[in-house]
Structure formats: C-alpha cells, structure tokens
A and B are shown apart, each in its own frame.
Chain A
Amino acid sequence: MEVIARRPETLTKTPFTYCPGCLHGVAHRLIAEAIEENGLINQMAGVAPVGCSVFAYKFFNFDMAEAAHGRAPAVATGMKRARPDMHVFTYQGDGDLAAIGTAEIVHAANRGEKLSVFFVNNAIYGMTGGQMAPTTLPDMKTTTSPYGRNVEDIGYPIRMCELLSTLVAPYYVERVSLLSPAEIIKAKKAVGKAIQYNRENRGFTFIEFVSTCPTNWGIDPVKSRDWARDNMLPFFKVGCFRDKGEENVQGVEK
C-alpha cells in the first residue's frame, strides 16, 4: 500500500498547542507541505508571532525565530538580508499583523522584501482570551467589545489584502478560506504558489487565511466554519488581489 497523505517531514513531531478544531493547524500543514514539495527544508526559516501561534517555532521542522509582538516582518527582513540564500516566511495572526505590527507589515510589503507572509484572520484575539481584534466584525461581541464592535467609536475592520494591494511592490496577494475541504484545496494552491515564488526570490508574497476561533466565538468547530462563512466571507472576500506571475488575475468578486 502506498501512503498518499501523511504528516509532512517539515513539521516536527510536537503536537500543536491549539484548541480542538482550530484551523491554525490546517494553515501550518499547508505551509509545511508547500515547503516540502518545493524541496526547501534545508534552506527554509520561519518567524513566529505573538498570539496563539507563538509556539509555531516548535512545530516547523527547520530553523525558526520567535519575534516580538507584530515585529515578525522586520525580523524576517533582517534574516533574509543576512542570509539571502535562505527562504524566509512569517506566520502572524490578526492582532499581531493588523494592529501592533501594522507599520512592519506595510513597510516590508512596500519594500518588496523577498518573504512570504501567512496571515491568519479569525476576527479575534485568541490567546489572551477573545478580545477585539482589528479584524473583528461590526457589532461582533468580544470580551473588550461586550456590546458589539461599535464602528462609530472604534472603526471598521481592516482588510489587509486590500490595503497591501494599494502598494506597488507586493508580488502576490491572495485571500483564501479554510472552511471546508474544497476551500482548503484552493488554499493549498495559493500557499504553494507563494512558496514557489519565494523559492524563486520573486518578491513579497502575502496569503490571508479566513479562519475560525471555536473557543472564543463559543461555537463548536464544525458550526464555527458556518459562522465564518456567513459573517466573515461577505466582509473578507476571498480572491487573488495581485499576482505578478500571472497575466490575467481574476480579482475579488465584487
């Protein structure tokens, strides 16, 4: 019998520390598979964020650095500049990337750093206990927006793909979702493309995953995907925003 799907060698044997049903693990696996498929295990390095995926440096089976909150793109910039023969990615959540690390992500993207950035958007701060994120939806209740996110007071959620697509330098920007096997298969293609472009040192690549937080949303893992589909996808539309490697980019559905 032939093994057709198994834990990739680019993941360590350490079990993930995420809650049951948390889709961080799916994003990890897609990245790990793309690195394995591109034959990059010996030249790859990643940067972990602060947040639920703070321990990502324990899960990827190659050199990893753990950055201060929001600073992963700056740390990755330093790593890539120091060792241009290596390939570097960051893995960041919405608080890390879209709140405290806004300057770092915008400027790494604007410089066209030859990095891949994987951004997990689940509209909430998970690790600290379900506080409001920059991506929290209008009227969504969190522990720091107990009456719902009041957009008059705190503004609307930030759409990072759209924001970064206004810059000239980024090479590839796509938003994908992880809410069903079919969507995960699409996401796998996008992740594979980002890592391929990274391998070819083409430029800055950015993948946003629309994900879930069953624990802090208080919804079971299966239903939380439906909640994300109904509530997140209308605001965070999946699609390719920029692909300098393809002539015809479909763009996001309006």
Chain B
Amino acid sequence: MPKMTVDPYYCKGCGLCIAACPKKIIRFSENINEKGYHYAECYKQEECIACKMCYMTCPDVAIKVEK
C-alpha cells in the first residue's frame, strides 16, 4: 500500500507539501519538532496514491514515499 512519511527532524512546517497533495491527506501535526515547527504529517495513509508530489515539492527533503 502506498505510503508517505515525513521525517520531523528535517521538516520546517512550510506547508508546500500540503498544498501539493492532490488527495489533501497531509496536515500540520499538533506536535512540534525540536526546532519548534508544527511538522507535516499524513493523516490518511490509506488514501495515498504515491504520486510523489509532496516529495517533489519538499524543500527540506524530509519526505519518503513507498509503494
């Protein structure tokens, strides 16, 4: 099953992946990372289609996509 994961270590919460996702299944986490950012997270993994749009747009190379 397709899956996207964000590494909170790299994420700066810019939101570009949220805007890029065609399925609208990425949001800011309620948690913050050690830099103080609300990092991005996928909250409906089952709807991910592994299109890589999030990976493509992420400026911090924080995203891994699996299929």
Contacts and interface: CB of A to CB of B under 8 A. Distances in A.
Interface of A: 1-8, 11, 15-16, 18-26, 28-29, 180-181, 184-185, 214, 220-222
Contacts of B60: 15-16, 18, 25
A25 B65 contact: no
B52 interface: yes
Contacts of B53: 181
A2 B9 CA distance: 22
B57 interface: yes
A3 B65 contact: yes
A90 B64 CA distance: 27
A3 B66 contact: yes
Given A21-B15, A185-B56, A4 B61 contact: no
Given A20-B37, A184-B57, A7 B12 contact: no
A142 B4 CA distance: 38
Contacts of B67: 1-2, 4
Nearest to A19: B12
Interface string B34-56: 00010000000000001011011
Given A15-B10, A25-B61, A181-B20, A4 B15 contact: no
25 contacts: A2-B67, A5-B65, A6-B64, A7-B61, A7-B62, A11-B61, A19-B12, A20-B12, A21-B59, A23-B59, A25-B58, A25-B59, A25-B60, A25-B61, A26-B58, A181-B53, A181-B57, A184-B56, A184-B57, A185-B56, A214-B14, A220-B15, A221-B14, A222-B16, A222-B19
A17 B67 CA distance: 30
